[in-house]
């Protein structure tokens, strides 16, 4: 039984936007600003360029091989089953940690209105609701994600327009160009701070590649995937860099943090309490949208890996009517509650989770870039190369180099050591699982087949 192919181009666009413009941007931007100061705009610009390159390389492979497992399948084809497993499992971890942190953020936003309600209760309602939405069917999920994502895109455009108006026409507004320079240097924390902010930035962009996992449920992958990926990255890049520039013109960067969204505070400066509450609603829907996309992408990855024999076949089962991987959706949704547990244990839960998730996305992107040359040669040989990534011979090594530089830079950043140790432990556990469980089960299965 195959997954239902009912996602249209507009659904694909908003799934990709939904996976990116969430609390990881609206709340995470505050953490990135606090680490590097006004140079955060440059960090998001570099992050956007890397994202664009990765999406172009992924588009070429996704059109040639539109499978639900996407880059897990590509890494397996290029480098063998171990690399495919490590890639899929690390992406699963990165995208699961993302929604877990988004649940913390959603609780933070809701506490502005309901300070007496505990965060865990919000998480319970959110997890239950979004699990149900994903189980109804992929077309319904696509419609919900389309409208949730549209809200935050319109809100960011309105914020940019309001900020520009305030800067140029409102003489009483506190928005001013000198806010970028009056509170320290452009690189406020030097190179280490800039590299530390890059993980938060990558976490903000992480999720764009979810479009690759949706290729298996697209009506027309050859037409929709390249167009959607290019358009999505350009929109996100403009919205990120444009809105961040306006934000830093309105709100002195030293006032940004993670106790609340800097966009909420800046909106309050521009338009008063009403604007502040409206933006708080927007960032709440952004968090819900990102969680929704996270459950979608991770459940499809879990379904694909179970179909390939990496996990129990129970996760590969599809609903007979909706053709959705309900068991995989349920398993992915349960991880949302880990964010609440970590939030209780550490006041810096959001930053810790964002850093680990960002590194996981970086690793996945690295495997996408490394897989592309082999998949390109295979597609040429098989005659399935229906879309060529422009200038791939140049952007592929450049992308690998930039990602490796960001990874290496974490050795010199505050908290980077904790992130690296956590990721190394995760990779060791994943490798041990593959060697002692997956490979053993496959050997037994092969022996049983030969015996028959």
pLDDT in tens, the chain (452 residues): 444 444 455 545 555 555 566 666 777 788 788 888 888 889 988 988 898 888 889 888 888 887 765 788 899 999 998 998 898 888 878 877 777 777 777 777 777 788 887 766 777 777 777 667 666 655 555 566 667 777 777 888 888 888 888 776 666 667 677 777 666 677 877 887 888 788 888 877 876 776 655 555 555 666 666 666 666 666 777 788 888 888 888 888 777 765 567 888 888 888 888 888 888 888 887 777 777 777 777 787 788 778 877 888 888 888 777 677 878 888 877 777 666 666 666 666 667 777 788 888 889 999 999 999 999 999 999 888 888 888 899 999 999 999 998 888 777 766 677 778 888 888 899 899 888 888 877 776 656 655 55
3 token code pair: 């997954």
Torsion of CA 313, 314, 315, 319, to 10 degrees: 120
In a domain, 140, yes or no: yes
Cα distances (angstroms) measured from residue 348 to each of 106, 202, 252, 355, 411: 15, 18, 22, 11, 20
In a domain, 189, yes or no: yes
In a domain, 449, yes or no: no
Q: Which domain holds residue 13?
A: 9-441
Count up the domains in the chain and report the number: 1
State how far the Cα of 47 lies from the Cα of 206, in Å rounded to an integer: 10
The string of DSSP codes covering 375-402 is HHHHHHHHT------TTHHHHHHHHHHH
Alpha-carbon 238 to chain mean position: 17
pLDDT of res. 20: 60
Q: How many residues does the chain have?
A: 452
In a domain, 201, yes or no: yes
The answer to whether the CB of 37 falls within 8 A of the CB of 187 is yes
In a domain, 250, yes or no: yes
In a domain, 4, yes or no: no
The answer to whether the CB of 371 falls within 8 A of the CB of 61 is yes
Alpha-carbon 333 to chain mean position: 16
88 token code pair: 């899929």
In a domain, 451, yes or no: no
Maximum separation of any 2 CA atoms in the chain, in Å: 84
The string of DSSP codes covering 55-84 is HHHHHHHHHHS--TTTHHHHHHHHH-HHHH
CATH of the domain at 339: 1.20.1740.10
Cα distances (angstroms) measured from residue 345 to each of 269, 339, 425: 33, 10, 20
Is residue 428 packed enough to be buried (19+ CB in 10 Å), middle (13-18) or exposed (0-12)? exposed
Contacts 24+ apart (CB under 8 A), 225-229: 225/12, 225/59, 225/62, 225/63, 225/66, 225/387, 226/59, 226/63, 226/387, 227/9, 228/9, 228/12, 228/13, 228/16, 229/16, 229/55, 229/56, 229/58, 229/59
Each residue of 299-333: b (16+ CB within 10 Å) or e? bbbbbbbbbbebbeeebbbbbeebbbbbbbbebbb
Query: Is residue 218 classed as helix, strand or coil in its secondary structure?
Result: strand
Residue 16, CB-side half-sphere exposure with 13 Å CA sphere: 31
Q: What's the whole-model pTM score?
A: 0.79
CA angle 445, 326, 225 (to 5 degrees): 90
Beta-carbon neighbour count of residue 290 at 10 Å? 34
In a domain, 238, yes or no: yes
Q: Residue 182: what are its φ and ψ, rounded to 5°?
A: -80, -15
């Amino acid at each position: 039984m195959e997954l239902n192919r009912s996602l249209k181009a507009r659904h694909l666009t908003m799934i990709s936007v939904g996976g990116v413009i969430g609390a990881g941007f609206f709340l995470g931007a505050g953490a990135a600003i606090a680490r590097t100061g006004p140079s955060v705009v440059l960090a998001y610009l570099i992050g956007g360029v890397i994202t664009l390159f990765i999406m172009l390389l992924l588009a070429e492979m996704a059109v040639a091989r539109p499978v639900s497992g996407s880059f897990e399948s590509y890494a397996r084809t290029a480098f063998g089953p171990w690399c495919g497993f490590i890639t899929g499992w690390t992406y699963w971890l990165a995208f699961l940690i993302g929604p877990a942190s988004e649940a913390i953020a959603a609780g933070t936003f809701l506490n502005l209105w309901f300070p007496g309600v505990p965060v865990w209760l919000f998480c319970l309602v959110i997890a239950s609701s979004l699990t149900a939405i994903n189980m109804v069917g992929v077309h319904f999920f696509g419609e919900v994600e389309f409208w949730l994502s549209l809200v935050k895109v319109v809100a960011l455009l309105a914020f940019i327009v309001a900020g520009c108006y305030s800067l140029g026409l409102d003489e009483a507004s506190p928005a001013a160009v000198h806010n970028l320079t009056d509170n320290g240097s452009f690189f406020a924390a030097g190179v280490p701070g800039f590299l530390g902010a890059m993980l938060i930035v990558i976490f903000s962009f992480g999720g764009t590649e979810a479009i690759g996992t949706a290729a298996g449920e697209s009506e027309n992958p050859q037409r929709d995937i390249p167009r959607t990926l290019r358009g999505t990255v350009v929109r996100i890049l403009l919205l990120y860099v444009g809105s961040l520039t306006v934000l830093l013109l309105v709100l002195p960067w030293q006032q940004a943090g993670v106790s609340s969204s800097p966009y909420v505070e800046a909106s309050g400066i521009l338009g008063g309490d009403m604007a502040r509450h409206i933006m708080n609603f927007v960032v709440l829907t952004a968090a819900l949208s990102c969680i929704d996309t996270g459950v979608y992408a991770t459940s499809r990855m879990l379904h694909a890996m179970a179909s390939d024999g990496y996990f129990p076949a129970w996760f590969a089962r599809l609903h007979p009517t909706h053709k959705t991987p309900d068991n995989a959706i349920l398993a992915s949704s349960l991880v949302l509650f880990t964010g609440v547990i970590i939030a209780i244990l550490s006041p810096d839960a959001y930053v810790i989770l964002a850093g680990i998730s960002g590194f996981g996305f970086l690793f996945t992107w690295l495997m996408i870039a490394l897989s592309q040359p082999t998949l390109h040669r295979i597609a040429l040989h098989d005659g399935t190369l229906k879309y060529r990534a422009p200038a791939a011979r140049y952007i592929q090594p450049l992308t690998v180099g930039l990602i490796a530089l960001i990874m290496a830079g974490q050795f010199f950043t505050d908290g980077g050591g904790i992130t690296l140790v956590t990721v190394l432990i995760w990779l060791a556990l994943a490798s041990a699982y593959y060697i002692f469980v997956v490979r053993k089960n496959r050997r037994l299965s092969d022996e049983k087949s030969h015996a028959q």
